[in-house]
Amino acid sequence: MLKKNMLLLILIIFLMIVPLIFNGDAEYGGADGEAEELITALNQSYEPWFSSIWEPPSGEIESLLFVLQGAIGAGFIGYFIGYMRGRNRGGNAEIQK
């Protein structure tokens, strides 16, 4: 099991580093900005439906908030799956007695 986990960890690191090596000069921006640029290029009279209530002071803070949101969501999903799995295992153990 440990070898399998280590192999998966190495694979994940490899998949994160390879794009940076082959495409190191690329700008890794969000899809929102790209979509807005494309829509504006296709239709110059386009106006967004709404604007943000609060604009983060920098791109780094925006990235931090995005990653934090993803981490909280992943933590919640992981907790829920673990809780349900533990509940199911506990219920099965009581039935087998």
In tens, the pLDDT along 40-62 reads 899 988 888 888 888 888 888 88
Q: Phi, psi at residue 48, to the nearest 5°?
A: -60, 150
Q: Among the ranges 18-22, 38-42, 76-80, which has the highest mean pLDDT value?
A: 76-80
Find, among 71, 67, 4, the residue nearest to 30 by Cα: 67
Q: What is the mean pLDDT of residues 16-35?
A: 79
- CA–CA separation, 94 and 33 (whole Å): 54
Give counts: helices (H), strands (E), the chain. Answer: 3, 0
Predicted confidence band at 73 (pLDDT cuts at 50, 70, 90)?
Answer: very high
Q: Measuring CA to CA, how many Å separate 46 from each of 29, 38, 41, 51, 55? A: 22, 11, 9, 13, 21
Q: How far is Cα 50 from Cα 86, in angstroms, rounded to an integer? A: 44
- Domain coordinates in residue numbering, the chain: 58-97
**What integer pLDDT is reported at residue 36 of this predicted model?**
83
What is the torsional sign of CA 8, 13, 18, 19? positive
21 vs 10, more confident: 10
When comparing pLDDT for 81 and 59, which is higher? 81
86: number of Cβ within 10 Å? 10
Specify the pLDDT at position 92.
58
- The predicted model scores a pTM of 0.50
When pLDDT is averaged across residues 89-96 and rounded to a whole number, the result is: 61
